[in-house]
Structure 1
Amino acid sequence: MQISNIKNQIQEFKISKNILGIWFVILVLSGCATVELAPRQTTLSGPQKTIQPSRGLYHRVRKGQTLWRIARIYGVSIEEILKANTIADSTLIASGQSILIPDTPRALSLDTSTLPGVNGERSRTMDSLNTGVSEDFIWPAKGKIVSGFGDKIGNSSSKGITLRLYAQSDIVASASGRVVFAEEKFSGYGKTIIISHPEGLMSVYASLSRILVKPGDYITRGMAIAQCGGLMHFQIRKGWISQNPYYYLSR
């Protein structure tokens, strides 16, 4: 009986923790709470050196692959890949490009029958590797990018991507997940939907003209969740921290 009670308490704690995280995101979006959304960069005086990992392997990018997918394949963070390759613009990653994967247990445990590498390092494509990586994120709509992640908007920086769409364009779920928030009048964002995905990721769809889903609905990737004409704002967050959508979306 005691074991059953403990299990119930643990489950209730997990649910409460998840709800707390979701509401914190909502508070941040509405301006009722503030957090440091990205690590601060410290500028050091004098000459600087880029420290590269002493070991690792090179991954040859396939068409449509994103930094998020590559990071998941090898069990490393996007930040580690960025630092190892000094990648400043993720939109410039191209099919056939070789990217250094830092020395990690996951990377080293993979089959090392490789293609000719770069600078003597090992290189591979992922044609025959069963990675078990979940589905990719897709663009929520087709339109012209008006502002990108980090672009200056007034006195602040954009935390997502703003698209200009045709009238009554369908907005689709960027990835499968559960609707945790759908509000007709959300402060500063208008009609807004938030979908929760595995691994603490959330996608935010704002400035919509019509909402087609409600909280609690389970949505599959590519399913229409809203309509919009004009400008539509899209974000991807991990917990309450805004992510660069370009790391997750294939271009």
Structure 2
Amino acid sequence: MVTAPLGLPGVYHRVKRGETLWRISKMYNVELDEVARINRITDTTSIEVGQQIFIPNRQRPQSLSPDYFSDDFIWPLKGRIVSLFGQTFNNTINKGINIEPRGATSVVAARSGKVVFYAENFGSYGKTLIIEHGDGFSTVYARNAEILVRPGDIVQRGASIAKVGSAGRDKSRYLHFEIRKGHIPQNPYFYLPQ
């Protein structure tokens, strides 16, 4: 264990390709907010390969089995981000990200879980579904042309769950995707692979 300039015991972690701050905090069993605060990281999506991150009150984790991160979040759709978390979009603050499809329009489950909500017309969200992941996290998939699952269905990460569409008077096609902890929207960039 080392002592940080702040006088706290802990270890330094060198960021590797594909790691997110959420994944690093999960590896050491430390709250994401605490790691960000101690390292004075205001934008947790902007960590870089090779950057040293101080992990307070921890020792190096034991070697992890390859399936330790097998249920991390994955991107629900390949495409271009047209609106970021927190941006104003169509006169409302975006509680997720909006992804315009590139090629295929199949939406996949970002993580394994149980479908707990389905609506044909959920206001400006249009056809919407919500998957709970059993650890306080849930994901929201909105603006679908077609939903392929129903409440009660158990879905695996990467399974096809919907087709991208549009909603209301806005005819542009994109997926509105949210990650929530409890009922509080989180910035998806904290959790999705970079």
Q: TM-score, normalised by structure 2?
A: 0.85
Match of 1:136 among 50, 58, 72: 72
Query: Number of matched residues?
Result: 182
| Higher strand residue share | 2
User: Which residue of structure 1 aligns with residue 137 of structure 2?
Assistant: 201
Equivalent of 1:233 in 171, 176, 182:
176
**Partner of residue 94, structure 2:** 158
Asked whether the equivalents of residues 167 and 228 of structure 1 are also in contact (C-alpha less than 8 Å), the reply is: no
Q: Distance in 1 between matches of 2:138 and 2:64?
A: 28
Matching residue's letter, 1:90? T
| Between 232-241 and 54-63, the greater mean CA deviation after superposition | 54-63
**Contact 2:179–2:187 (8 Å) recurs in 1:** yes
| Equivalent position SS for 1:199 | coil
- 1:64 matched residue in structure 2: 18
Residue number in structure 1 paired with 2:170: none
Q: Read off the aligned partner of 2:31 and give its amino acid letter.
A: S
- Per-residue CA shift, 1:41-96, capped at 9, x if unaligned? xxxxxxxxxx9462221111222112221111111111011101121223322222
Q: CA deviation at 1:135?
A: 1.7
Counterpart residue number, 2:40:
86
Structure holding more helix per residue: 1
1:237 offset after TM fit, Å?
0.2
Aligned residues of 1:53 and 1:102 also touching (Cα < 8 A): no
The one-letter amino acid of 1:135's match is D
Cα deviations by residue, 1:108-167 (Å, 9 ceiling, x for unpaired): 3x46xxxxxxxxxxxxxx8x3449455210000011111111112365421100111247
Question: Take 2:164 and 2:45, find their aligned partners in 1: how far apart are those partners?
Answer: 25
Distance, in Å, in 1 between the alignment partners of 2:118 and 2:105 is 18
- Residue 119 of structure 2 corresponds to residue 183 of structure 1: yes
**AA partner of residue 83 (structure 2):** S
Q: Are the equivalent residues in 1 in contact too, given 2:20–2:191 (CA < 8 A)?
A: yes
Over 3 Å counting, the alpha-carbon distance change for 1:83 and 1:190 in structure 2 is same
Q: 2 CA distance for matches of 1:150 and 1:242?
A: 10
| Aligned equivalent of 1:35 | none
SS in 2 for 1:72: helix
In 2, distance between residues paired with 1:129 and 1:73? 9
RMSD over aligned Cα atoms: 2.2
Percent pairwise identity:
48
User: Whole-Å Cα distance in 1 between the matches of residues 52 and 35 of structure 2?
Assistant: 12
Which TM-score applies when normalising by structure 1? 0.67
